[in-house]
Amino acid sequence: MGAPRAIALCQCFSGALEYQAGHWEEAEAALHESINLYRDLGAASGEALAWQRLGVLLTARGQLEEAMDAFTEGIAASERATMRAHCQARLYASMTRNRLIAGDLPAADLYLSLGLEMIERHGNCATCDALLLPAAVSQSIARGKFKDAERFYQQLENAAEQYASRIWIAMARQSHAELLAAQGWVSEALERYEQACQEYRMAGHDYEAARCLTAMADLYTNRHAPQDEERADAVHKQAQDLFDQLRAVQPVP
């Protein structure tokens, strides 16, 4: 029908789905088309969310600074958006994750605080929470604030039970594993990572599955129990195979 707004929306969702499936060149092309269409329409909310998804893709590819440029464009668009707080909550969540991977904890602190402020401003939103809570767990762990990490994890766990989504369940298991590992509960963390990996694979989200496998390999390597070296090698190979298929860069834990 040639309806630009409908095409922009479809391309934005297509980009998100192609990213999840590992078709990253197609995802990037779809998101750029969505951004251009939304910009021509003056639809700032759609443009901001398309920039956010593009930044997530670039972060996964290891193009951290290019991703931050995309997020910055998204923030600029969101200032004109009717859904400003929703858009910015998602952007700040993704920026927090990007800066964590980059090892820039002060910047991650800033973006997490801004994201939490947006969440408080507009109330609960499942999609915003899905992005922000796992980042909040990771950032709290990085700062050694385990009580805060536990609080954010419990919010994520409660949401996973409420929505009964495979992706939500996987995110909750992954965040719990991260927290358990940081507290020294290695066997329990490995079990949770394995559960998360299975859920992500069944949902077709191989990038996050590979991140879980990488974390498991690191835990086996550092534990030094009998046969852990062999387990670490096997799991690391699984992760590397997935990253190679996705043409992704392994993130810093």
Task: Give the N- to C-terminal CA distance of the chain in Å, as an integer.
Answer: 46
Low-confidence ranges of the chain (pLDDT < 50): 252-253
Alpha-carbon gap, residue 7 to 58, rounded angstroms: 23
CA dist 21 and 107 (Å) reads 30
Q: What domains does the chain contain, in order, with CATH numbers?
A: 164-253 (1.25.40)
Question: Whole-model pTM?
Answer: 0.90
The pLDDT value recorded for residue 194 is 97
Contact 47, 76 (CB under 8 A): no
Task: Please tell me the predicted confidence (pLDDT) of residue 119.
Answer: 81
